[in-house]
A and B are shown apart, each in its own frame.
Chain A
Amino acid sequence: MPKTVQCELCPNGCVMEEGQRSRCRARMNKNGRLYSLVYGKPCAVHVDPIEKKPFFHFLPGTTAFSIATAGCVLSCKFCQNWQISQANPEDTDTYDLPPEKVVSNAIRSQCRSVTYTYTEPTVFYEYMYDTAIIAREKKLRNTMHSCGYIREKPLKTLCRYLDAADIDLKAFSEDFYERVCGGRLKPVLDSLVLLKKESVWIEITNLVIPTLNDNMKMVKEMCGWVVKNLGPDVPIHFSRFHPHYKLTNLPPTPVGTLTAARDTALEAGLKFVYIGNIRHEAESTFCPKCRKLLIERIGYFVKQNLLNGSRCTYCSTPVPGVWS
């Protein structure tokens, strides 16, 4: 008797016969039931500055207890963590870290939040969900860095415990998502709209890759969509590409391209536009009204925070974010 199952977690909707695995490598059909192969088995555990995620408007200067397991729902040719995102769970070195231990370790490390990151948190959904519940009980915040490739129902369920999400908006093109990432753009946009609706703090990261998504017309279209659907307060990070994984033939992103993307985003109406993976003054936060420096950053570190609560010290303009 056939025991076929379908995973309903991400838009891939993998159909698995008995003994088969999902595309993300983290789920398996065993005796007609679907199991997670990575629950409580992170392959990466670190205490990071929250700015590394990157979150620039969420508890600046604090640390985040960060975990990841093997696997990913996409297969981006430029992946910076391909050694674990494109690996089978059994091929990675893992820790035995059940949800309660994640939270106790986070508290012991004086972290303010637990972050689900590095690979794609959707693949370890059950682990993330159970950890998030315990973390919330212990007054820790939950954040994730995700590609946003997840279905509505699981994301909505997770939003009850999620405080912030940094979503990789890899390009504003279905063709790019299909050719370079093996996915689709539409579900990512739907996730962003849902996160906004569920009042989860959102930041967006866009890795600017020479010749693939560095067209300013596309950047303008993307920023216009963000302003229209999520509002002008959503911070966006234009990140510098470095040759990696299957795209070692491309050069690092020229600084001029990143600043052009930033100018385009500001023109489109976004108020907080950052440049990442490179030392630049656009790593810092400026007041959208008086343009004075409010949070000075050097890399992942906050050099000075001049916010007065959640307002500009100089002109009292409210600065959107989660500051305490």
Chain B
Amino acid sequence: MMTRRIFLKFFCLGTFFSLFSRKVKAEVKKERKLKEAMFWRRLD
């Protein structure tokens, strides 16, 4: 059963880890230039 004591324990632990853990930056994907297709033709 979730008592107030257990709740506070997890709340404090969560706060501690979120505040003091190392921040990881989200990877920013490089936008690659589109590759031109090999087999096509212009119609007009």
Q: Which residues of A approach B to under 8 Å, CB–CB?
A: 1-9, 15, 27, 30, 32-37, 39-41, 96, 98, 125-127, 129, 151, 153-154, 157
A127 and B37 CA atoms in complex are apart in Å by 10
**B35 contacts partner chain A, Cβ-Cβ < 8 Å:** yes
A96 touches B30 (CB 8 A): yes
A96 and B42 CA atoms in complex are apart in Å by 30
B40 touches A5 (CB 8 A): yes
Given the interface pairs A40-B32, A96-B32, the reply to whether A5 lies near B38 with Cβ below 8 Å is no
Across-interface contacts of B40 in A (CB, < 8 A):
5-9, 27, 34
Across-interface contacts of B30 in A (CB, < 8 A):
96
- Residues 1 to 44 of chain B near chain A (Cβ within 8 Å): 29-30, 32, 34-44
Given the interface pairs A35-B34, A96-B30, the reply to whether A5 lies near B39 with Cβ below 8 Å is no
15 pairs of residues in contact across A and B, judged by CB atoms under 8 Å: A4-B44, A5-B41, A5-B43, A6-B43, A9-B38, A15-B43, A27-B37, A30-B34, A36-B37, A39-B34, A39-B35, A40-B35, A126-B36, A127-B35, A153-B39
B42 touches A35 (CB 8 A): no
Besides A4-B43, A126-B36, 4 more A-B contacts (Cβ < 8 Å) are A4-B44, A5-B40, A5-B43, A9-B40
Across-interface contacts of A33 in B (CB, < 8 A):
36
Across-interface contacts of A15 in B (CB, < 8 A):
43
Mostly, the A contact residues are mixed
List the count of A-B residue pairs having beta carbons below 8 Å apart: 66
A5 and B41 CA atoms in complex are apart in Å by 6
User: Chain A residue with minimal CB distance to B38?
Assistant: A126
A126 touches B35 (CB 8 A): yes
A5 touches B34 (CB 8 A): no
**Minimum distance in angstroms from B32 CB to a CB of chain A:** 6
**Which of A4, A7, A96, A151 has a CB less than 8 Å from the CB of B37?**
A7
Across-interface contacts of B37 in A (CB, < 8 A):
7, 9, 27, 34-36, 125-126
Given the interface pairs A35-B34, A37-B34, A40-B32, the reply to whether A4 lies near B39 with Cβ below 8 Å is no
B39 touches A36 (CB 8 A): no
User: Chain B residue with minimal CB distance to A8?
Assistant: B39
**Minimum distance in angstroms from B38 CB to a CB of chain A:** 6
The 5 tightest CB contacts between A and B, nearest first, are A39-B35, A34-B40, A35-B34, A34-B37, A4-B43
Across-interface contacts of B35 in A (CB, < 8 A):
35-36, 39-40, 126-127
Interface centre among B30, B40, B44 (most CB of A within 10 A): B40
A168 and B36 CA atoms in complex are apart in Å by 28
User: Chain B residue with minimal CB distance to A153?
Assistant: B39
B44 touches A34 (CB 8 A): no
User: Chain A residue with minimal CB distance to B30?
Assistant: A96
Across-interface contacts of B43 in A (CB, < 8 A):
4-6, 15
A237 and B43 CA atoms in complex are apart in Å by 41
**Which of B32, B34, B41, B42 has a CB less than 8 Å from the CB of A3?**
B42
